[in-house]
Structure 1
């Protein structure tokens, strides 16, 4: 039950994993939760022992994450638009966009019912009439941060969660996030882009200084 409580609280799990949490205080804090779920009394000592076991079992991937960050780089693109389309409409419009002679920077993510297209405003502008008629949702005044990492990124557990946590701590709200092989794409409001870019730049610089190999 203690393990379940920890796993359901990502901030607590992270504090335990990094060794920041005072286990005695955590045991006191979660004792009422554990007691209510078990519907019986439980001692702080029993919870403390369970927390120690849980901490020992948590994956410690920080060195691998820092190594990937140290070998990654950032790019920031402004004037980006996000368009959400139904699947059938998307196939037609994407066909029109890609059939021309111009080369565009576009990113596409799909789900069973919708297709999300992230592209420069110039691209969307050329097809705006058709898009406004068929789009489910259009979001403008966005920026896109692209994090390009080494191949090790693919197998590095917790990498994306680490980035999202850093952005959340910086007060950044993510509009959309996805990845394509070793590229991680973070879409956000243009007003938040400088803060997000600085936060991620600082994170990478710190990783390089610490020289994780």
Structure 2
């Protein structure tokens, strides 16, 4: 019986990262967790008091809490760039498309000065993030190769310190903050010390407010005495 209860407790925590973090940070009581486990396992012959006792005996590791604080330390020292009027394009993934993209880059037909053309190679398709101002030029160049397009997007670029490369939990913190507030990710990827999150334009202001508030909370929780803004560039 005790072995089965320990299995149910472990499974409940491992299956729900939010629940696990809350438990490790002492935000969820043994009584509440016991009720949750019993509600999700109605066929198990276990008593609430026995399950609650087993949970209380469980040693709460500080690992998850430390992970969360390490990620906050990184975000406290990060900066935010915002680009609006972006477009996501989806290309047919074949040799002719790749050849055309390479050729266009070489003769500067796509990329000039500060023009943005961010290519993401998926398993079956190619995704490109471009500026809406260049859309007509790109459609002319890649006529017949573009499967679909998604206009009116905003890109949030989180520029982080170098130590972010070896700090787990940063992306999790960002995803939790936005997802729990019903922000849908059109695209998300990372490169070195940058995390790029692309959302629909209708969610842009809400996303901006959430990330701004998150950075400020991270500063406070990390003990940083810094009144400067983490927002360094907003491009319309």
Partner of 2:182: 171
The unaligned stretches of length 5 or more in structure 2 are 1-6, 225-236
| CA–CA distance in structure 1, aligned partners of residues 123 and 208 of structure 2 | 32
Deviation at 1:114, TM superposition (A): 1.7
Alignment of 1:13-28 (within 5 A): 13-28=20-35
TM-score calculated relative to the size of structure 1: 0.86
- Retained in 2: the 8 A contact 1:174–1:188? yes
- Retained in 1: the 8 A contact 2:91–2:127? yes
Does 2:48 match 1:41? no
- Retained in 1: the 8 A contact 2:119–2:127? yes
**Residue 82 (structure 2) aligned to one of 70, 76, 79:** 76
Match of 2:186, SS?
strand
| CA–CA distance in structure 2, aligned partners of residues 156 and 51 of structure 1 | 30
- Retained in 2: the 8 A contact 1:90–1:115? no
- Retained in 2: the 8 A contact 1:3–1:54? no
The unaligned stretches of length 5 or more in structure 1 are none
Deviation at 1:171, TM superposition (A): 2.7
| CA–CA distance in structure 2, aligned partners of residues 30 and 203 of structure 1 | 31
CA RMSD of aligned residues (A): 2.3
Deviation at 1:45, TM superposition (A): 4.3
Cα–Cα, structure 1 residues 172 and 144, in superposed 2: closer, same or farther, change >3 Å? Answer: same
Greater C-alpha radius of gyration = 2
Partner of 2:117: 106
Does 2:93 match 1:87? yes
**Residue 210 (structure 2) aligned to one of 189, 199, 213:** 199
Cα–Cα, structure 1 residues 7 and 50, in superposed 2: closer, same or farther, change >3 Å? Answer: farther
